[in-house]
A and B are shown apart, each in its own frame.
Chain A
């Protein structure tokens, strides 16, 4: 083989390597939680009359946990997709509202740091959530408040929106980081949910 061909081959290999590498999504970090039990939590619901919610209440169902916030721009982008998914009545979606007040960089949240003025923070959160849901539609079976983001940490949340599909036995089967799109719903979520529902938790 011509010795001048080798540098060319090397160059092409490098181009292929870089093309693949640069097209990967650096935000798509594989979650170690997939295949493991969903971390437990106990959080107040947006609906003040509803009891404390814990994932154990969803045992026996395939459900989705969607982490969102009203200050999160991509959540707005995703919201319509969630509303139409909820209309299909395939699986219940539980909204985990993540740091509604303390995560909003537009607000001066030092007043609420470390849980100072918790009652005020809670009612302000409820007000903002209620306004958002009545304005954009409510796809959630229920919404819980993660005011300080501690539950978010247990679920490995590092940027909202994030969504988890959890099976009948409480095992996390899928994590999607970033806004859900109709493509993701059709190609990843719905097939997985169908399979889980048919096989009773064995994918």
Chain B
């Protein structure tokens, strides 16, 4: 038994080491694909945060910061040149929305069309809570009606609980 535990520990340790090694060996591939705006760290930060808000339309579940698709690279280049031209974040976002629509925004705006998207989960949660409370109340009533607890029964239950302590 002890041997098995040791084995498992060793395997886990190896896996952790490998993991750490992989992280060290391949930095930057998971989150920040955009090539740096080498000279200007502030502009680079803006590029990263803008790119993380924009959807890559080719690989639709990735942002253009994560994606290495051809189009994502082009769009990062566009964003970079707009930053260099001194445009505001809102101007850059508008540029993208005018061409690709709201779909390009990773966080869809709250408006008539997207109310169901934003409000749906809350509505479902409230409906669920309402149903649960109703169900529990009904069940209680039914149980009480079926088997009313006698005074004698209560005493016995209390005695049993005390025994347990």
Looking at chain A, what size class is its interface with the partner chain? Answer: 10 to 19
In terms of DSSP, what is the predominant structure of the interface of chain B? Answer: helix
Interchain CB contact under 8 A, A32 and B58: no
A105, CB-defined interface residue at 8 Å: yes
How does the 8 Å CB contact mask read for B71-101 relative to A, with 1 for contact and 0 for none?
Answer: 1001100100000000000000000011111
Q: Residue among B58, B70, B75 with the most chain A CB within 10 A?
A: B70
**Residue among A105, A150, A158 making CB contact with B100, cutoff 8 Å:** A158
Chain A residue nearest to B99 in the complex (CB): A156
Within 8 A of A (CB), among B79-136: 97-103
Interchain CB contact under 8 A, B57 and A153: no
Contact of A153 with B74 at beta-carbon distance under 8 Å, contacts A29-B57, A158-B58, A159-B58 already known: yes
Contact of A158 with B57 at beta-carbon distance under 8 Å, contacts A29-B103, A153-B74, A153-B78 already known: yes
Interchain CB contact under 8 A, A153 and B70: no
Interchain CB contact under 8 A, B70 and A33: no
B29, CB-defined interface residue at 8 Å: no
Q: Residue among B57, B99, B100, B103 with the most chain A CB within 10 A?
A: B99
How does the 8 Å CB contact mask read for A38-60 relative to B, with 1 for contact and 0 for none?
Answer: 00000000000000000000000
Within 8 A of B (CB), among A1-37: 26, 29-33
A113, chain B: closest CB distance, angstroms: 10
A110 to B46, CA, bound (A): 26
B134, chain A: closest CB distance, angstroms: 12
Using A29-B100, A153-B99, A158-B100 as known contacts, list a sample of 7 further A-B pairs with CB atoms less than 8 Å apart, ordered by residue number in A: A26-B60, A31-B101, A32-B97, A33-B99, A153-B78, A158-B71, A159-B58
Footprint of A on B, CB under 8 Å?
57-58, 60, 70-71, 74-75, 78, 97-103
Q: Can you report 14 residue pairs joining A to B where beta carbons are below 8 Å apart?
A: A26-B60, A29-B57, A29-B100, A29-B101, A30-B101, A32-B101, A105-B70, A149-B74, A153-B78, A154-B99, A158-B57, A158-B58, A159-B57, A159-B71
